[in-house]
Structure 1
């Protein structure tokens, strides 16, 4: 009993005042910490169930899921691998529907490691296609807004129209070419 009392902090001692045996003190501490542990379990499970990828990079999202699963494991409530995969997939947006269908419709369950690799690869593909469409949109905007006075230059263009830009050289027809 003296060891339990001497090794406890003041905040813990408050809950043990008046208790008469080490067994009773131990049970009181067990109940106090079990309720705190239960609250932590519920908090971590709720965070895991409600976590959404949103605008987070995939690697950050996957790390958050892993951290929450690790926290649950540390308090005695581990999440099995197939449930971890489902938690990962449930937090993804509609742009990942193709991957979700692919992973969930397999005959053999997808491992967590495979799911991570597939999702990271798919995110890279999305970023590449977004980059291509964004570059295409920028190029399209430049083509429509800059017109003949464009700052684009065509290497070795017609000397008579130097400085008038790419469009002047490109669409001038036979004018000024001595034809």
Structure 2
């Protein structure tokens, strides 16, 4: 890189203008690249914390070029990078009369992710329980067989109205 001849420049303003001209194009291209990176972030398989940190890093990179990303643009970049399972949260944030701060959006999204994980764990554990209850000790799938051979017309209309356990097949009790 060749520096312009700074000798003979009599004011600091002229020197500053020469330096700004020399490095200005690089700063503009950096700003454009940082802004593009900011708006192309997607959560994908990342945890919410990691996704939010990537977006914050893009904003910090942009800020390092002396151009601050406004809060509204930061929030917009976050919301645009979220998958469909966050659609209800996005609707709440965008429909609000009072604009959400980055901190408010961050808190809401981290709480939402935590709730989704709790629900997911409960569903998978109850699915596991149901599946394990559907098999006998040998691993064979248990079948429900009504105790009556007569065909009834619905609940309570058969000739033998005794209840039968779906797990062990014995009459007189049910499994919860």
Query: Is TM (by shorter chain) over 0.5?
Result: yes
Task: Out of 19-28 and 91-100, give the one that drifted further.
Answer: 19-28
Structure 1 outlier segments of 4+, above 4 Å: 24-28
Q: 2:136 aligns with which of 102, 127, 147?
A: 147
Shift of the 56–20 alpha-carbon distance from structure 1 to 2, 3 Å rule, reads closer
Find the residue that maps to 2:66 and give its secondary structure.
coil
Residue 148 of structure 1: how far off its partner (Å): 4.1
The Cα offsets for residues 122-170 of structure 1, whole Å up to 9 and x where unpaired, read as 00011111111222232233233x32436xxxxxxxxxxxxxxxxxxx6
Find the residue that maps to 1:56 and give its secondary structure.
coil
Judging by fraction of residues, say which structure has more helix: 1
Q: Which residue of 1 aligns with 2:61?
A: 71
TM-score (norm 2): 0.70
Find the residue that maps to 2:43 and give its secondary structure.
coil
Mapped partners of 1:138, 1:56: distance in 2? 26
1:21 aligns with 2:4: no
Q: Which residue of 1 aligns with 2:170?
A: 173
Q: Which residue of 2 aligns with 1:47?
A: 37
Matched residue count: 141
Runs of 5+ in structure 1 lacking a partner?
1-13, 151-169, 175-179
Runs of 5+ in structure 2 lacking a partner?
140-166, 172-176
Residue 76 of structure 1: how far off its partner (Å): 1.6
Shift of the 130–20 alpha-carbon distance from structure 1 to 2, 3 Å rule, reads closer
Q: Which residue of 1 aligns with 2:98?
A: 108
Mapped partners of 1:60, 1:129: distance in 2? 21
Mapped partners of 1:142, 1:48: distance in 2? 46
The Cα offsets for residues 77-124 of structure 1, whole Å up to 9 and x where unpaired, read as 211112211111010000000000001101111111111110000000
Contact 1:59 1:120 in 2 (8 A): yes
Shift of the 42–22 alpha-carbon distance from structure 1 to 2, 3 Å rule, reads farther
RMSD of aligned alpha carbons: 2.4
Find the residue that maps to 2:82 and give its secondary structure.
coil
TM-score (norm 1): 0.69
Shift of the 172–110 alpha-carbon distance from structure 1 to 2, 3 Å rule, reads same
